[in-house]
Amino acid sequence: MYNQINMDYRPAEEFCSLFDIVEEDLKRIQGLQSIVAEKMDEMLDEWYSWLKNHLEYEEFFSDPKTLTRVRKEQHKFWDAFFHGKIDEDYLHLRRMLGETHARIGLPHDFFFAGIDRWLTLFVSMLNNMEMPIEEYNLTRRSINKMIHLDMTVIIQSYQQLTNEAIASQSKALMEMSTPVTQIWNGILLLPVVGIIDSKRAQDIINATLRKISETHARSFILDISGVAVVDTAVANHLIKITKATRLMGCESTISGVSPAIAQTIVDLGIDVGKIKTTANMKAALSSAFEKMGLVLRKLNP
């Protein structure tokens, strides 16, 4: 089945079918190859003349070395376009361009405007050619189809790489927000700040169970003094977390239960079952040390 997220799974034939690109379209494109090759430097000059009027020129193309390299890449891009062969290699080059745009942060609006400028240049080229009106219209349509295909593949690749970067950053932030720490042999602590939703609750479970497996901990303290709102959904997440740790032989304690949170739980009629709770972390730590057979003594000054 076609994977909607990873656009690499759509084959070239399906892309052609999607944009109604048939053999006649490719032949019309191929028929322009020699003319475009002859005029490409001139069109590039016109395109960059247009570009110099916009802020993106200074940001992305002002360096002479970069400009030279990009011009060569544009030569290759349009040479492949007017070669008129859409296969996996062709799509791969377009995807690579989309990834490059994503890495440098090229804005979508500038990309669309740049493509529209190229369309203007190609239409101007067709206007100077002597061809029957019907063939002229068909050729313009063929160019439009190909450009729409290119834009789609490039933007999909851009978006996929961007989504992967966002997912990676979100994962890193989530790992930072669930720092399960071994504060003593056999005792784990996780202070939670913010909102506990289904996704975060699952991340907490995964991180905690992994840490329990690594350390063979017997006590786990989940401090919720930084959680602003506790409703039925949050309480259910907490119950789920404590049940999961209990299955691994680790007793959980929910610390930081404020009077307001306790009242909310009572008002909502939430059955917290066998969840062990304390008003603050000090009480939770004392309970955990006691479970480990440790005694805290106050040292005389």
Domain with CATH 1.10.490.10 in the chain: 7-175
CATH placement of domain 7-175: 1.10.490.10
* Number of residues that this document lists for the chain: 301
> How does pLDDT run across 171-201, given as a tens digit for each residue?
655 555 568 889 888 999 999 887 777 778 8
**pLDDT surpassing 90 at residue 168:** no
Contact 119, 6 (CB under 8 A): no
> How does pLDDT run across 99-124, given as a tens digit for each residue?
888 888 888 899 999 999 999 999 99
Give the DSSP H or E segment for 191.
strand 187-194
Domain with CATH 3.30.750.24 in the chain: 181-291
Sign of CA dihedral 276, 278, 284, 287: negative
Q: CA–CA separation, 128 vs 125, rounded Å?
A: 5
Least confident of 37-46, 56-65, 279-288: 56-65
Return the CATH superfamily for domain 181-291.
Answer: STAS domain (3.30.750.24)
Does the pTM surpass 0.95? The reply is: no
Helix axes 133-177, 88-104, angle to 10 degrees: 50
